[in-house]
Amino acid sequence: MAITLPQLRYFLAVSETGNISHAANRLHIAQSAISHHISVLEEELGVPLLVRKHRGVEVTAAGQRLVDHARAILRALDIARDDLRSQGGRLIGQITVAIPYSPIRAIGVELLQRMHDAHPDAVVILSEGLSVYTYERVIAGTADIALTFNPPPDDLTTRIPLLQEELVCVGTPELLGSRTEPLDFDDLAELPLALLHLGDLSRAILNQPGQLNRFRNAVRFQLASVAATLGVAEAGLACVLVPRTLVREQLDSGQLMARPLQNPTPSRTLVLVSRQDIAANRLRETVAETIASVTRDAVNTGLWPAAELLI
């Protein structure tokens, strides 16, 4: 018996809610119907997909693999439908763009505005997250496009480098003083630091024993939130290593100051990433082109300061 699309949708709903009853309520169908379809799926595949527990269900390892496949299959069907519906001229459909905090501040509103003005029937969802997570979402198939910094090498994605920007040391005048000349990277060990736990620079410091030993006493905070990292800097609790665009208003007001870094000068590259095994469509191509356009304009007008365009 062939696997059907309703079976995949029912199974995804159960995996996402962790409960057959909740999935039935979401889908507005009988609980017994979902249970039957999942039993048929398990019989067809020859592996258990769920472990039944007192308060719900838990997806097995085989079930998680099916979750990944099902999401990719259903998303590919959505893309095909929207692409064919858009052939008449209007751009129709929905696309999810996973985007980190600093790019969403620099170009997020302009991206939405341009897409809405030019293609009012297209729905663009901006999903904010740390850079490492935006990349993982494209790999997992839960986002169509991602903006990410310094993505790891892979054979799965198509990449367009957009810009390169330097990271600077930012803190209150009380912590950094009034001098503005560059700091040697090693001098950071003399300052109280807050590091974004999954950021590129923090991984470079914390994952290398030599670096970790040198910075052990300097790192006061490891945070998994950009907002909290900025809050620590604004409160004068520690210095942070961020691009200028992230603290543009605080630098302009004098609340914070920035000092460049040298020997070495840390930088990061913003890359637009999409899955190469998922066929491109007009909507994805249009959004990618618009992202490139608004990025170019943001750098050229100074809205994204101290960045070097790569497009």
CB 195 within 8 A of CB 241: yes
Q: In this structure, which CATH number among 3.40.190.290, 3.40.50.261, 2.40.37.10, 3.40.50.10260 belongs to the domain 168-265?
A: 3.40.190.290
Other CB atoms within 10 A of residue 241 CB: 23
CB 163 within 8 A of CB 310: yes
Separation of CA 215 from chain center: 28
User: What pLDDT score was predicted for residue 231?
Assistant: 95
Q: How confident is the model at residue 160 (pLDDT cuts 50, 70, 90)?
A: very high
pLDDT digits (tens, 9 = 90+) for 173-231: 999 988 889 999 889 889 999 987 655 555 555 445 555 566 767 889 988 888 999 99
Instruction: Give the mean model confidence (pLDDT) for residues 91-116.
Output: 94
User: What pLDDT score was predicted for residue 168?
Assistant: 93
Question: Does the pLDDT at position 262 exceed 70?
Answer: yes
Fold of domain 90-163+269-309: D-Maltodextrin-Binding Protein; domain 2 (3.40.190)
**Contacts with 162 (C-beta within 8 Å, 6 or more apart), sequence order:** 147, 270, 271, 272, 291, 292, 295, 309, 310, 311
Instruction: Give the mean model confidence (pLDDT) for residues 56-84.
Output: 86
In the chain, DSSP finds a helix count (H) and a strand count (E) of 13, 15
User: What pLDDT score was predicted for residue 137?
Assistant: 92
What ranges do the domains of the chain cover? Answer: 5-74, 90-163+269-309, 168-265
Q: In this structure, which CATH number among 1.10.357.10, 3.30.420.40, 1.10.10.10, 3.40.50.970 belongs to the domain 5-74?
A: 1.10.10.10
Question: Does the pLDDT at position 86 exceed 80?
Answer: no
Q: Where are the beta strands (DSSP E) in the chain?
A: 50-53, 56-59, 93-99, 122-128, 145-149, 157-166, 168-171, 183-184, 193-196, 219-223, 239-242, 257-259, 261-262, 267-275, 307-309
Rounded Cα distance, 183 and 163, in Å = 23
User: What pLDDT score was predicted for residue 267?
Assistant: 86
Q: Are strands 93-99 and 122-128 parallel, antiparallel or unpaired?
A: parallel
Show the tokens assigned to 214.
């040198």
User: What pLDDT score was predicted for residue 179?
Assistant: 82
User: What pLDDT score was predicted for residue 212?
Assistant: 55
Instruction: Give the mean model confidence (pLDDT) for residues 258-284.
Output: 89
Rounded Cα distance, 272 and 107, in Å = 13
Domains 90-163+269-309 and 168-265 share a fold: yes
- Residue entry with tokens 């018996």: 1
Question: Does the pLDDT at position 248 exceed 70?
Answer: yes
3-class DSSP state of 29:
coil
List alpha helices for 86-141, DSSP H. 101-103, 109-118, 131-140
User: What pLDDT score was predicted for residue 88?
Assistant: 65
pLDDT digits (tens, 9 = 90+) for 38-69: 999 999 999 999 998 888 899 999 999 999 88
Nearest to 244 by CA among 263, 268, 221: 268
- Residue entry with tokens 């995804």: 12
User: What pLDDT score was predicted for residue 2?
Assistant: 82
Mean predicted lDDT score pLDDT of the chain? 88
Question: Does the pLDDT at position 232 exceed 70?
Answer: yes
User: What pLDDT score was predicted for residue 289?
Assistant: 97
